[in-house]
Structure formats: C-alpha cells, structure tokens
C-alpha cells in the first residue's frame, strides 16, 4: 500500500459522513438559496472534517500498541507501521491548524471545535471505559456539529430539532455498542463489560422512541407547519421505518461502523430517498 493511501486511510474520510449534521440547520431553515450562508456552512463542514480526522489520528496513535494485537485493527496504518509516528503526528498538527484557520473568523465555531477536541481527547484518554458516559460523549459530538450548523452561522436552532438530533445520536451510539456485543471477547471493548445485552436493548428502545416522539413533535409543530407545510408530517412513517430497519441491521451484527453501514443497506437508502422526496416536494 502506498504511503499516500495510508495517510488518507489514517484520516478516515468515510467518517466525514457524520459531519453532515452541520447541514441540518440549512436544510430545515430552507436557506439553501442564501449563497454567503451556504459558504459559511461549507467552511464549517470542512473545519469539522479536518479536526475530526486529527482527533482520529491521535486516537490511533494512543491505541497503536493495543491495535497491533487486535484481530482486525492491526491493519490500521499506525498499528501496522505503514505510517510512522512522527509523520502521523505531523499530519494531525496540520489538520488541527487547517480546522482552526477555517474557523478563525467565527468565535462560536472555534469554541465548538475546541469543545469537540477536549471531549474526544477525554473520551480517548479514559472516559471511553465508563458505561453511558462513553455514548453520551459521542452524542455530544453530534450535537456540537448541529450547533455549528445553526447557532454558529446565525440560524436559530429549533428546540425540537436539537432534541431529535440528541436522541438519534444516542440511539446510534447505543446501537454501535449493541453491534459490538456480538463480537467474541477478544474483539470487544473493555467498556462492554458494563453493558449487558438486555440493557443495551432497553437503551436502544428508549432512545429510538424519544427520537420518534421529538421528530413527530417537530413535524407537527406550528413553526414547522409554517415553514414546511403539511407534507412534513408524511415523513414521520419514513423515519420510523428507517430506525426500525437500522435496529434490525444491528441485531444482525451490523452497525459497528455507522458511516459505512448506513450506506450499505438498500432499504435504509430507499427510506432516505423517500424522505428527501417528501421533504423537498413540500418546497417545490
């Protein structure tokens, strides 16, 4: 494998899919015709891509010894030796600087990026071993992205949209842990000892229900009805189907890598397409 490809793999670009949360405010506020606003959000997305990749590199640097002994993680660029430690840390430094430069004119965005880095380093340096706290930090990362695409660029965030974002992030986080519970003991995270299978089922059911409830309240709220019309209500069954289908996939042993698994299931992609058709159809 070439060095350049190894460096790209080290940045985990497929994980940038998580950063699309910054576009939620643009989508739901119907502001896609505002050129300067779209430009600010694109810069926000790029800043999160840079900073999140830098954090992944630091995580891999810290875990490189244990990853080298893992049945699958030994293939990671740092664990396998495909990328040297000095080169990896240099790349992380460049990415941090690039993210800061992209956000230099936006103090709120800089603060959110800083919080994202601090939380993720705290996660990697110990909190990932604390049940519930680990998933809460992951969910907070999604919320910071959502706030970066609303508050940081001047879009007033909807309280129901924020709650929906929080609960779906928790649902995806606990779904990830559930998927990991199907691995043999050698491949499981240490924190899995604190997650009985029945408890994870309860957490998934609770956060899925909360997601459906808050999204339904958003879709039927007077604010949403004024912005999007009655047709947004028809997206609720599509959202429910998508969540149920994802839960099914998780219980089939998938869902450990949310960014990849969401795109691999044709039914989930069909649900996403149906949601977009209904949502966009309400505005044209």
Secondary structure (DSSP) of 100-122: HHHTTT-HHHHHHHHHHHHHHHH
Mean pLDDT of 4-15: 90
Identify whether the C-beta of residue 170 lies closer than 8 Å to the C-beta of residue 136. yes
Give the separation between CA 59 and CA 235, rounded to whole angstroms: 38
pLDDT grade, residue 33 (50/70/90)? confident
- CATH number attached to the domain at 1-157: 1.10.357.140
E strands present in the chain: none
The tens digit of pLDDT for each residue in 130-188 reads: 999 999 999 999 999 999 989 888 888 888 888 999 999 999 999 989 988 887 655 66
Under a CB-based contact definition with an 8 Å cutoff, are residues 246 and 268 in contact? Answer: yes
pTM, full prediction: 0.86
Please give the full DSSP string across 221-248, using - where no structure is assigned. Answer: SHHHHHHH-GGGGGHHHHHHHHHHHHHH
Q: Give the position of tokens 């891509």.
A: 49
Radius of gyration of the chain (CA): 19
- Type and span of the H or E element at 268: helix 266-281
Domain ranges of the chain: 1-157, 158-284
């Amino acid at each position: 494998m070439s060095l350049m490809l190894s460096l790209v793999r080290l940045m985990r670009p497929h994980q940038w899919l998580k950063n699309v949360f910054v576009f939620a405010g643009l989508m739901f506020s119907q502001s896609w015709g505002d050129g300067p606003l779209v430009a600010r959000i694109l810069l926000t997305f790029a800043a999160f891509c840079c900073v999140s990749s830098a954090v992944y590199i630091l995580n891999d640097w810290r875990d490189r010894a244990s990853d080298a002994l893992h049945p699958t993680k030994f293939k990671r660029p740092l664990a396998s030796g495909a990328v040297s430690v000095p080169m990896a840390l240099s790349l992380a430094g460049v990415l941090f600087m690039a993210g800061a430069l992209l956000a230099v004119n936006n103090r709120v965005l800089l603060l959110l990026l800083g919080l994202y880095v601090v939380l993720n380093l705290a996660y990697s340096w110990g909190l990932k071993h604390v049940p519930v706290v680990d998933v809460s930090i992951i969910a907070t990362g999604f919320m910071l992205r959502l706030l970066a695409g609303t508050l940081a660029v001047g879009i007033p965030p909807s309280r129901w949209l924020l709650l929906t974002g929080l609960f779906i992030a928790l649902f995806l986080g606990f779904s990830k842990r559930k998927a990991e519970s199907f691995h043999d003991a050698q491949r499981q995270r240490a924190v899995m000892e604190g997650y009985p299978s029945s408890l994870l089922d309860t957490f998934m059911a609770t956060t899925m229900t909360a997601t459906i409830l808050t999204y339904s309240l958003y879709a039927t709220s007077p604010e949403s009805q004024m912005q999007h019309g009655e047709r947004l209500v028809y997206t609720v069954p599509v959202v429910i189907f998508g969540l149920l289908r994802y839960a099914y996939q998780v219980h089939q042993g998938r869902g450990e890598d949310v960014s990849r698994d969401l795109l691999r299931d044709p039914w989930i992609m069909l649900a996403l397409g149906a949601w977009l058709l209904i949502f966009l159809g309400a505005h044209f």
